[in-house]
Structure 1
Amino acid sequence: MAKLYYYYSAMNAGKSTVLLQSAHNYQERGMDVLLLTASIDDRFETGKISSRIGISAEASLFDKNTNIPELVKSRNESNALSCILIDESQFLTKEQVYDLSEIVDNLHIPVLAFGIRTDFQGELFEGSQALLAWSDKLIELKTVCHCGSKATMVIRMNEQGIPVKEGAQVEIGGNDRYLSVCRKHFKEAVRD
Structure 2
Amino acid sequence: MSELVFFSGTMDCGKSTLALQMDYNHRRRGRRGVIFAKLDRAGSAMISSRLGLATEAVEVEDGLDFWDTVVRWLTAGESIDYLICDEAQFYTGEQVEGLARIVDELGIDVFCFGITSDFRTELFPGSKRLVELADRVQVLQVSALCWCGRRATHNARVIDGVMVVEGEQVVVGDTGTGAEVEYEVLCRRHYMRRMNSRAAALASATDDVLPFDLDVCPVIPPAGGAPGH
Q: Tell me the TM-score normalized by structure 1.
A: 0.93
Equivalent of 1:187 in 187, 192, 200 = 192
Matched, 1:144 2:142: no
Match of 2:156 in 1: 155
What are the equivalent positions in structure 2 for 1:5-84 lying under 5 Å apart?
5-38=5-38, 41-77=39-75, 78-84=77-83
Q: CA deviation at 1:150?
A: 1.7
Amino acid in structure 2 at the alignment position of 1:171: V
1:42–1:99 Cα change, 3 Å: closer
Provide the aligned C-alpha RMSD in A: 1.5
Give the gaps of 5 or more residues in structure 2.
196-215, 218-229
Match of 2:87 in 1: 88
SS of corresponding position for 1:157: strand
SS of corresponding position for 1:150: coil
User: 1:63·1:91 contact (CA, 8 Å) conserved in 2?
Assistant: no
Q: Give, in whole Å, the separation in 1 of the partners of 2:144 and 2:104.
A: 32
Structure 1 residue runs of 4+, over 2 Å off?
74-79
Q: Give, in whole Å, the separation in 1 of the partners of 2:15 and 2:69.
A: 23
Amino acid in structure 1 at the alignment position of 2:89: Q
Q: CA deviation at 1:27?
A: 1.1
Q: Tell me the TM-score normalized by structure 2.
A: 0.79
Q: Give, in whole Å, the separation in 2 of the partners of 1:45 and 1:89.
A: 16
Match of 1:116 in 2: 115
SS of corresponding position for 1:180: strand
What does the per-residue CA deviation read over 1:16-48, in whole Å, with 9 as the maximum and x for residues that have no partner?
Answer: 00000000011112211110001xx15213211
**Higher normalized contact order (CA 8 Å, seq sep 6+, divided by chain length):** 1
Equivalent pairs: percent with the same residue? 35
